Structure 1
Amino acid sequence: MEQKFDPVKECSHKILAISDTMDILNGKWKMSIVACLCYKPMRYSELLKEVKGISGKVLSRELKDLEMNELIERIVLNTAPVAVEYRITTYGNSLKELTQTIADWGFTHRQRIIAGMKK
């Protein structure tokens, strides 16, 4: 039996999926952290410098949330003194394309707004 396409049901499923995604990636900083780690593993201090404007306390909290959701992993390096590195997981790397899409949209939007101000 052929199933009929129900746009209301389809929309509801998408809204639920978007809500789930936004719950995990909520806030101002998580996507920036994920984007950084998609390109290379970084130590805490490197992330603190790279993600402009984030405080140490907030970075710690965001890293814990991302680790809990299996998007990043915390690696304790065998060094003296002990150092910690954060890496994107294979699962977290599935967000790389999304971070690029968001970055592309943001760049285009910024150009559009700036061009509108010049008129």
Structure 2
Amino acid sequence: LVLRREREKLFKNLDGIRNMTKLPSAIWVVDTKKEHLAVQEAKKLGIPVIAILDTNCDPDEVDFKIPGNDDAIRSIELLTRVITDAIAEGLKARSAHAAPATPAAEPLAEWEKEILDSAAPSTEAPAATDAPVEA
């Protein structure tokens, strides 16, 4: 029973990294105090850390510091939305500049495909219909 619980806990916490084929280019951390292990591992592997820093955090642990409240959900949502929008914009710009004949260096993740698909202009124009207007 104890081993099964331990296995389930490990599977829940580490399942996302099982399918990673390479190290991430950077990591986004909201609370460096709570996620100190992730910050330490990123430092050991040379992965840049982008983080929201509150007054109780050590700025020397982070490569790219964003001063803000890491306890308030509204500030976390705002800063995370800004970061995700910047990532999406960068992906769109990179795909627009990439030559279509050259194969990608690595396959795109599902979320990258979704962003690029939503950014692609639709080739189908909506059909114009003449609807009667009631006065």
- TM over 0.5, yes or no? no
Normalising by structure 1, what TM-score?
0.35
Larger radius of gyration: 2
Q: Which has the higher contact order (CA 8 A, sep 6+)?
A: 1
Query: Greater share of helix residues, 1 or 2?
Result: 1
